[in-house]
Amino acid sequence: MEKLPCSDKLFPFSAVCAERNAWRRAGRRVVLTNGCFDLLHPGHLLLLEQAKALGDVLVVALNADCSVRALKGPSRPILGEELRAYALGCLRSVDRIFLFDGTRVAEEIHALAPDIYVRAEDRTVANLNSAELMALRAVGTRIEFVPFLPSLSTTALVEKICSTAGLARGSERLGEQNDR
């Protein structure tokens, strides 16, 4: 993988796992969170700051473009993985980033064995993906849910931008005008 701007924090997953072993030997607590982080907004920033406060090293599993399309549809991501990684890498709270192609991080959780896994409190243990939950339990990871800003979501922001700009909802690209 080529180094990206601000990519001193973006590494292949295998390199993050190797670092994890060194962090473990040094007694550092590793926190993992994951997401698309498409159009980074204050809700994301709050989540990441709260996640970092729970441990010593914050690792972000960032959905690759193909993964975002599978989860969110063909018009997403708004920003490509390199730009999303760049934005995350500029944040003081984020220590490491890796891209993953799947829609779930169960395999990555199992391999990385983070001390703490963080999601926003709009999730619960009951609605976590079952494979991810099984991986978290298998490696003894503590699960934390942190407060979030319910009025903010990337999807809501995209809809507001489209509405404000007079674009049709569901436009394939944010910049395309609706043919009326």
User: According to the model, what pLDDT value does residue 178 have?
Assistant: 33
Residue 151 pLDDT: 67
Chain centroid to CA 178: 31
pTM of the full predicted structure? Answer: 0.84
- Secondary structure E strands in the chain: 30-35, 57-63, 96-100, 116-120, 142-146
Q: Which residues of the chain have pLDDT under 50?
A: 1, 3-4, 170-180
The pLDDT value given to residue 4: 47
User: CA-to-CA distance for 59 and 61, rounded, in angstroms?
Assistant: 7
Domain extents in the chain: 7-149
pLDDT tens by residue, 47-99: 999 999 999 999 999 999 999 999 989 989 989 999 999 999 999 999 999 99
Residue in the block written with tokens 């609706």: 178
Instruction: List alpha helices for 9-129, DSSP H.
Output: 13-25, 42-53, 65-72, 81-89, 106-112
pLDDT of residue 41: 86
pLDDT of the residue at 180: 28
**Residue 163: predicted pLDDT:** 79
Both structure tokens of 94: 């984020």
Q: In DSSP terms, which residues pair with 146 in a beta bridge?
A: 120
Domain 7-149, what fold? Answer: Rossmann fold (3.40.50)
| Per-residue pLDDT at 1 | 43
What local confidence, expressed as pLDDT, does residue 152 receive?
67
Assess contact for 68 and 78: CB atoms under 8 A. no
